[in-house]
Amino acid sequence: MTDRFKMQDPRTQYPAPPFPDQPQPMPGLAGRMEPVPDHGEESYRGSGRLEGRKALITGGDSGIGRAAAIAFAREGADVAISHLPDEEVDAAEVVALIEAEGRKAVSLPGDVMNEEWCRELVERAVSELGGLDVLVVNAGRQQYRESVLEVSTEDFDKTMKTNLYALHWIVKAAVPHLPPGGSVITTASIQAYEPSEILLDYATTKAGITAYTKALAKQLIEKGIRANVVAPGPFWTALQPSGGQPDEKVRNFGGNSDFGRPGQPVEIAPLYVLLASQEGSFLNGEVLGATGGKGIA
């Protein structure tokens, strides 16, 4: 892994396309990707900014959620991760990484499309961690369709439930447990601002996540709780080769960013740490972009 703290040209700091063909079935596993994404397993260094915090991260097995989980643990937090049962291999690696930092790790396999499970995963996280200070709603579904005529009701429903309904269900269950100083962080996307024609349902949910979080922030600050959004651009995660993009776009993924490459999950983890920590104490209802130079306006 590259030394992230050594001054270097960011354009060549991480792998650039073209990448090998690597289609996977949903939901996709990080360990099967080539190159394997850098979630910070070796490259993230903590400094105690989340000492004693208790965090729940959905979609914490791979991608951006995994990077946030590793970073949170190295900053001193105990971490519960939710994930699909099919993602157990990746989730077990994250649990081991959290425990290697001397922090408590909780694995919560289940499907966030189920409202009852969303309530249960929050209650289990609170019970096993002994409370909840930080909620990161990150789990997402992305499946490209070339035409609006190909977006079935089933497609649309699954994407809405995974990306938007679950957000509402999980937040509703978690808010009563969050203390003043607590933080809610959601994951939107550049797709909320610059939607791709092949991601109709996904882009719609990401715009919804942004609006929902901004409205929620106005409510929660009355309780001393902050809510903010992280909006990634092209990041090298298992979401892409498992149906999130056509094979040709995966081969060239991130090539149109200002850097000529996609972001690695570890590169966005510090934004989640900032928003979870007291260093972000004056950030509320904000959207922090990491889009590779494309912007979010």
Q: Would you please indicate which residues are annotated as catalytic (active-site) residues?
A: 202
DSSP state of 74: H
Beta carbons within 8 Å of 91's beta carbon, 6+ residues apart: 60, 61, 81, 83, 107, 109
If you count them, how many residues does the chain have? 297
Beta carbons within 8 Å of 176's beta carbon, 6+ residues apart: none
Element (H, E) at 109: strand 105-109
- Output the CA–CA distances (angstroms, integers) from residue 143 to 154, 158, 190, 262, in the order listed: 12, 10, 16, 19
- Output the CA–CA distances (angstroms, integers) from residue 123 to 59, 69, 171, 267, in the order listed: 17, 19, 12, 31
Q: Which residues face 8 on adjacent strands?
A: none
Asked if residues 262 and 292 have their Cβ atoms less than 8 Å apart, the reply is: yes
